[in-house]
Amino acid sequence: MKKALYLIAGLLAMACARSPYTDQPIRSGEIWPDDRGEHINAHGGGILCYDNTFYWFGEHKGERSSSAFVGVTCYSSKDLVNWKYEGVALSVEDDPESEITRGCVLERPKVIYNKKTGKFVMWFHLELKGRGYSAARAAVAVSDNVTGPYKYLGSGRVNPGILAQNVSEEDLASLEGLPELESWTPEWLDAVKKGLYYKRDFEGGQMSRDMTLYVDDDGKAYHIYASEENLTLNIAELSDDYLSHSGKYVRVAPTGHNEAPSIFKRNGTYWMITSGCTGWAPNAARMFSASDIMGPWTQYPNPCRGEKSEITYGGQSTYILPVPGKKDLYIFMADIWRPAHPIDARYIWLPIQFGEDGVPFLEWMDEWNIEAYK
């Protein structure tokens, strides 16, 4: 009996030791120094929680260029405020023939852990060097260690020749023989909704730009990306090893012009926050919900409230982190881009709030702390 009590006391002590958050403030928009005193350089990123440690992966940005001259950086933290630089998790390559050669565009990396294979899997948006944003490829890398080095596996358009679950052969057939349509006319919008660009890219695979990953409770992982010239989002299930696509996918909000997708699930409802498409300039966030990740998705008004809500407080969504051990704390993460000085881009981290109806909303906070949440 005594032994059992000691065991319980010991376990409780361990559990407390595993609640290492801090009341140090999170200050959005400010310089955020790492353990070396340098501003964290992990933009368009996301966070993986593994073995009681948080790992922040993001784009390394330089002084003058937004292109990738270093690769994907990784930082670790126990409390989400104090971050240790772990180095370059995926490095760009010197070989000019490499798809990830120095000077390519490598954006919005996200890492997930596959319990079945024990591997860490990274997906990101890749644009081939010197080709602007025309490649629109999804790229994948893998590692046995969370901090890397990640091995680059390859890139491509998504699900070539495979019909999305919510596209019908009839819709595609109705697009046969259409004359050239002027953009944004009612006829063009109707054609895009039916799959004008989807059909164009069907054989070669769908375009994939801004992206995120989501692992559901059942271990299935999803790749959510801006497709069809950024006019339509796609949600595509990954294979069991997370290294490719399973072929099951849906189109979401065609003609909606959404990018920068971020997603979380609360009480069985999926919520997705995105941005519009205005490059590095901020715009109003959008929000959608669904009871099944494959849809249908319903659009809500802009979740941001208060001053600068029409430009997401100057930022663009990148990730939403449910904080373990903190019921109802979901951190909305966004980037305040500085295209003229990319390395100085800042981070917005705000706790998502919920109305009585359970609908999420955001308000600017100069500072807040995680420990204040139950």
Q: What residues line the site for ligand GAL (CB under 6 A)?
A: 44, 107-108, 210, 259-260, 277, 279-280, 316
Tokens 């340098």 locate to: 38
Q: Report the SS3 class of residue 65.
A: coil
Distance CA 320, CA 73 (A): 19
Give me the least distance between CB of 334 and ligand GAL, in Å please: 11
Give me the least distance between CB of 261 and ligand GAL, in Å please: 10
Distance CA 124, CA 100 (A): 11
Residue among 121 and 260 whose Cβ is closer to ligand GAL: 260
DSSP code per residue over 163-206: --TT--HHHHHTTTTPPP--TTSHHHHHHHHHTHHHHHTTTT-B
Q: Report the SS3 class of residue 310.
A: helix
Instruction: State yes or no: cis peptide before 149, omega within 30 of 0.
Output: yes
Q: Which residue is nearest to ligand GAL (CB)?
A: 279
Residue among 145 and 278 whose Cβ is closer to ligand GAL: 278
Across the strands, what pairs with 270?
265, 290
Residue among 297 and 337 whose Cβ is closer to ligand GAL: 337
Residue among 178 and 281 whose Cβ is closer to ligand GAL: 281
Distance CA 261, CA 296 (A): 16
Tokens 């390559």 locate to: 93
Give me the least distance between CB of 338 and ligand GAL, in Å please: 12
Instruction: For residue 254, give both structure tokens.
Output: 């065609």
Distance CA 92, CA 6 (A): 52
Give me the least distance between CB of 165 and ligand GAL, in Å please: 26
Residue among 280 and 354 whose Cβ is closer to ligand GAL: 280
Give me the least distance between CB of 70 and ligand GAL, in Å please: 17
> For the chain, how many helices (H) and strands (E)?
4, 22
Give me the least distance between CB of 262 and ligand GAL, in Å please: 11
Q: Please state, as a whole number, how many other Cβ atoms lie within 10 Å of the Cβ of residue 360.
A: 20
Q: Are 310 and 333 in contact (CB under 8 A)?
A: no
Encoded amino acid at 250, one letter? V
Give me the least distance between CB of 202 and ligand GAL, in Å please: 24
Residue among 33 and 339 whose Cβ is closer to ligand GAL: 339
Residue among 260 and 321 whose Cβ is closer to ligand GAL: 260
Give me the least distance between CB of 339 and ligand GAL, in Å please: 7
Distance CA 15, CA 148 (A): 28
Residue among 58 and 303 whose Cβ is closer to ligand GAL: 58
